[in-house]
Amino acid sequence: MTGISSLWEFLSRDEAFFGGPQSPMLSWIGSFGIVLFFLWHVIRLRIDVSRAQRPFHRVGPTLTALADERGDVDRERFTSHALVGFAPPAGQVASSPTRIDCDDLQIVETSMQKEPMFRQPWAQFRKTLVLEHVPWFMEPRIFSTRRAEEIFTQDTLLSHRVNLAFYSQLPSLVTGIGLLLTFLALFIGLSKLHMDGHDIAGIQGLINGLAGKFLTSIVGLIAANLFTLIEKPMVFRLMNEHHTFLSLIDKLFPRKTMEQMLEQLTPMRRSHGEPRRTSGGEFMSRIEGMGTDGLAGPIAELTEAVRSLTKLKQGEQATAQRTATELPRVIREEFTTPMKVLNDSIHDLTASLKDLRIDRTQTAATLDDLMERLTDRLAEQRTASGLSRAEGRRFWPKRSVPSSQQPIA
């Protein structure tokens, strides 16, 4: 408690520095803190903005040089060569652009890969690039289906490098801190007031240091206004670098609109024997016709292509349906004769097996008969051998006696 009381007494003590008004120590400490807070964030903002501008400064000259070298190629392509079908007079060679978009793309690719800030957005933007289909003797152009501002957004490039949302609210934060310290100083001054009988004690200290209690509010307002004057130009220059970068990307890789894609799909069929008139009235009439009916040809061609594809699809479906209908009949006709031959072969095999079974039965019966006769004969022989050996020998005149048996004396 003693330490807290000592700290409270120190913060509430009125002091005058640098010839200024008497203010509580809390106001002086708060004012110095606001000034340090202001200077710290000004330096930090300067460092962050400079760090974010460096990639634009390194890539910007390359993009600017490519855009300047391209010159009036787009103007020449889309004005003098926009009238497709009007060939130049005989002996006059049509001018061709000297810039090659593929080479420019490779240069931009190398520059973007060197900068970590542009590496990921550039990989996404490159997926939107399309190559123009042109004859073999012309250099193809590279177009983008999306604008650069849709890929290289402010949040994608700058949100991780400069906290613009925090810096935009910093003036309000500084002003709030100054007002808070002012109310704390007033609270300290009012806490000294107390009734001493019929008199009010402590009012002299409140009145004497009343002007100094607003010191923090004044310093906070000054710091907030100065920070606004410093922060807005820095952010403006950074946004200007970003917008310049987007405009250069759109200039190098212009967006391909749907109208331009439909216009390229229109084949301008003109006979080579048709006379080419270059009179002013004929030229203006053709230009007016192209301006009013520019989309009639593409729409008609697309409609005809859809009709052709529909007819082709219907023909394929009809062919598949006829094949599915005729396939069972064809299979039945083709396999009738082989199946008949196979059935006949099966019947013949069955009959052969039956005959073989009958033969085996007859053979078995014959063998059984022979065995019975042989058994009866053996029985008769054994009976006869018991009566007389001589008669037994007569029955078996050619049978030899086994060598293992001894002759009877």
Number of structural domains found in the chain: 2
In a shared domain, residues 16 and 128: yes
Is position 25 within any domain?
A: yes
In a shared domain, residues 182 and 308: no
Is position 80 within any domain?
A: no
> CA 142, CA 348: separation in Å to the nearest integer?
79
Is position 408 within any domain?
A: no
From 240, 263, 286, the end of a domain falls on: 263
Predicted local distance difference test score (pLDDT) of residue 53? 92
In a shared domain, residues 45 and 193: yes
> Following DSSP, what letter does each residue of 140-178 receive, concatenated?
PPEEESS-GGGTS-HHHHHTTT--HHHHHHHHHHHHHHH
In a shared domain, residues 67 and 194: yes
pTM above 0.75, yes or no: no
Chunked mean pLDDT (size 10), the chain, 409 residues: 63 65 76 92 94 92 85 56 44 49 86 91 88 71 85 89 90 91 78 62 60 80 94 93 92 76 56 43 48 61 85 87 83 83 87 86 88 88 69 46 44
Is position 373 within any domain?
A: yes
Predicted local distance difference test score (pLDDT) of residue 94? 42
Q: Residue 132 half-sphere exposure, CB side, CA atoms within 13 Å?
A: 24
In a shared domain, residues 258 and 312: no
Is position 366 within any domain?
A: yes
In a shared domain, residues 130 and 70: yes
In a shared domain, residues 230 and 342: no
Instruction: Give, in order, the Cα–Cα distances in Å from 374 to each of 364, 366, 385, 391, 404.
Output: 15, 12, 16, 19, 25
| Closest to 174 (Cα-Cα) out of 40, 18, 21 | 40
In a shared domain, residues 69 and 151: yes
| Closest to 142 (Cα-Cα) out of 156, 153, 127 | 127
Token pair of 254 as six digits: 């212009």
Is position 389 within any domain?
A: no
Is position 216 within any domain?
A: yes
From 210, 238, 263, the end of a domain falls on: 263
Predicted local distance difference test score (pLDDT) of residue 236? 94
> CA 72, CA 117: separation in Å to the nearest integer?
31
Neighbours of 377 (CB within 10 A): 11
From 263, 284, 314, the end of a domain falls on: 263
In a shared domain, residues 45 and 139: yes
In a shared domain, residues 364 and 225: no
In a shared domain, residues 195 and 342: no
Contact 140, 99 (CB under 8 A): no
In a shared domain, residues 243 and 316: no
Instruction: Tell me the one-letter amino acid at 44.
Output: R
| Closest to 125 (Cα-Cα) out of 88, 98, 150 | 150
Q: Residue 48 half-sphere exposure, CB side, CA atoms within 13 Å?
A: 19
Backbone angles phi, psi at 59, to 5 degrees: -90, -30
Is position 63 within any domain?
A: yes
**Structural domain of 318:** 296-377
Predicted local distance difference test score (pLDDT) of residue 92? 41
